[in-house]
Amino acid sequence: MPEQLLPLYGISQENAVIQPYGAGLINHTWRISTDSRTYILQRVNQAVFKHPEAIDKNLRMLKAHVAETYPGYLFVAPLPALSGETLVVHDGDHYRLFPFIDGTHAINVAGKPDEAFEAARQFARFSRLFSDFDAKRLNATLPDFHNLNLRYRQFLKACKTAGPERMSKALNSIEFARKNEHIVDVFNDIVANSRIPLRVVHHDTKINNVLFDKYNKAICVIDLDTVMPGYFISDVGDMMRTYLSPAGEEEQDTTQVQVRPDYFKAIYEGYIEEMGDIMTHIERSSFIYAGRFLIFMQALRFLTDYLQNDVYYGARYEDHNLRRAENQFTLLKRYVEHEAEFRHIAP
Ligand code: ADP
Ligand code: GN1
Ligand code: MG
């Protein structure tokens, strides 16, 4: 199937080597090597992104802004097909082709604090670049994506409609989630009351959405589908969620889920290096809350999906999304245990 796309881009199918690539959960990604160049081809997951053209429009606006204000910045945008379009429809599916950024690789778990620092600095640089861009011009590619208030209500609703077996297996997680409703109250206070500013936010700052070179220096950020108006807690929170623990979200042995304070320090320093003079007072004072917010929301999303029979994330083994949720609730516990220590790092 992906080979049929190549002629639309003027790429010969002869000698093209096509392989599934990466560890993303949402889109379908292939690496395509030809004699002269390497590419990344992606099929947009339309069950998630109902309006792929909204993503395409956002990327064009952002690319134009970068070209005008910071032309040296590596903004990884889709390449035009022969038709001139950067989003191609084939058999009802939407595809994009990106240049493969040569000499780079993605990592799934941060193995050194410096990798966390590098990634945090890259995402903060991205926010900084667009700090003078009116975020409201962007389409919300996933409306309410990080609306914790709504996610919590969706979770409560899922508890009412779930089958009895899944409900009973998930009982401990459900109870823990309900005990943490106060995390939603803080969200409502700072976000719904507009106490923190709306910015251009990446919304998926997992470590595998950064490309590193062979010296482990971060080169650029990728996976720009969820770039839309939002709040900095989304970006900083997902860094906490994915860089602090030596075990990732797929780890089933929750004793492996730990919080490494030196990685927290690295995230803080990397982020502040680029965004420090732009952040407002309330943003600075919400830095630690960002971790609670995002880890809790991801735990709820996995748990809700479990209660709804894995319709969003899918499952590769029985109770996969419940295990993912338990992993994230454990991470939340560990995170909260460390907050007093974090306050010395991020005062
Ligand atoms: P998903 O939305 O499914 O996470 P991504 O856009 O993050 O999809 O792509 C999945 C993986 O493919 C990335 O984690 C990275 O390893 C690799 N990748 C994506 N784009 C590029 C690129 N332009 N150059 C090199 N590798 C890339
Ligand atoms: C998805 O696409 P990917 O794998 O980078 C998800 C994120 C979750 C993440 C959990 C559009 O990210 O929000 O945090 O999985 N993206 C979408 O691993 O739902
Ligand atoms: Mg990704």
Closest-approaching ligand to the CA atom of 47: 2
Residues 176 and 243 in one domain: yes
Pocket test for ligand 2, best of 142, 204, 227 (most atoms within 8 A of CB): 204
Provide the pLDDT for residue 15: 87
CA angle in degrees (0–180, nearest 5) for 119-106-220 = 50
Provide the pLDDT for residue 22: 84
Residues 118 and 95 in one domain: no
Residues 50 and 143 in one domain: no
Residues 56 and 184 in one domain: no
Residue nearest to atom 1 of ligand 2 (CA): 25
Residues 91 and 172 in one domain: no
Q: Amino acid letter at 298?
A: Q
Residues 70 and 192 in one domain: no
Closest-approaching ligand to the CA atom of 22: 1
SS (H, E, C) the chain: CHHHHHHHHCCCCCCCEEEECCCCCCCEEEEEECCCCEEEEEECCCCCCCCHHHHHHHHHHHHHHHHHHCCCCCCCCCCCCCCCCCCEEECCEEEEEEECCCCCECCCCCCCHHHHHHHHHHHHHHHHHCCCCCHHHCCCCCCCCCCHHHHHHHHHHHHHHCCHHHHHHCHHHHHHHHHCCHHHHHHHHHHHCCCCCCEEECCCCCHHHEEECCCCCEEEECCHHHCEEECHHHHHHHHHHHHCCCCCCCCCCHHHCCCCHHHHHHHHHHHHHHHCCCCCHHHHHCHHHHHHHHHHHHHHHHHHHHHCCCCCCCCCCCCHHHHHHHHHHHHHHHHHHHHHHHHHHCC
Domain that holds residue 223: 113-345
Within-domain flag for 59: yes
Gap from CA of 160 to ligand 1 centroid (Å): 37
Residues 127 and 264 in one domain: yes
Gap from CA of 206 to ligand 2 centroid (Å): 8
Q: Which of 30, 64, 99 corresponds to the end of one domain?
A: 99
Residues 189 and 242 in one domain: yes
- Which CATH number covers residue 9? 3.30.200.20
Gap from CA of 210 to ligand 1 centroid (Å): 9
Whether 109 is in the pocket of ligand 2, judged by its Cβ within 6 Å, is no
Count of structural domains, the chain:
2
Whether 24 is in the pocket of ligand 2, judged by its Cβ within 6 Å, is yes
- Which CATH number covers residue 160? 3.90.1200.10
Gap from CA of 8 to ligand 2 centroid (Å): 29
Q: Which of 99, 129, 151 corresponds to the end of one domain?
A: 99
pLDDT of the chain along its 347 residues, tens only? 788 999 999 998 888 999 999 877 789 999 999 998 999 999 999 999 999 999 999 999 999 999 999 999 999 999 999 999 999 999 999 999 999 999 999 998 999 999 999 999 999 999 999 999 999 999 999 999 999 999 999 999 999 999 999 999 999 999 999 999 999 999 999 987 788 999 999 999 999 999 999 999 999 999 999 999 999 999 999 999 999 999 999 999 999 999 999 999 999 999 999 999 999 999 999 999 999 999 999 999 999 999 999 999 999 999 999 999 999 999 999 999 999 999 999 98
Within-domain flag for 147: yes
